[in-house]
């Protein structure tokens, strides 16, 4: 075991080897962060994410009301240029 131990001691003097040994811990931490974020999203897209290209670049382009109680919104992605129309019910008081 002396040769193996000497090799490991020699590797410990190399900076990137030290960083490589910490990778499993960092990967586990990143996996936990991802799981936490996915739980917060609850299988829903944030409102500004483009369903076509995936970028967070969707902005409200225009709003119009075809009838009482309903508002239609036109959303446009600033990255890919795609449009999406969303219908929103007006809350009654």
Rg (CA), the chain: 26
**Residue 63: which of 55, 73, 49 has the closest Cα?**
73
Q: Considering the entire predicted model, what is its pTM?
A: 0.51
- pLDDT tens for 23-82 read 899 999 999 999 988 888 787 777 788 989 989 999 999 998 878 889 999 999 999 999
Q: Is residue 93's pLDDT more than 70?
A: no
- pLDDT tens for 3-17 read 888 888 888 888 888
């Amino acid at each position: 075991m002396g040769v193996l131990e000497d090799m490991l001691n020699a590797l410990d003097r190399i900076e990137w080897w030290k960083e490589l040994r910490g990778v499993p811990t960092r990967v586990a931490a990143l996996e936990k962060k991802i799981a936490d974020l996915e739980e917060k999203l609850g299988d829903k897209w944030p409102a500004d994410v483009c369903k076509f290209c995936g970028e967070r670049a969707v902005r409200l382009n225009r709003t119009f009301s075809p009838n009482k109680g309903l508002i239609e919104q036109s959303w446009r992605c600033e990255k890919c240029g795609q449009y999406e129309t969303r219908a929103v019910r007006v809350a009654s008081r």
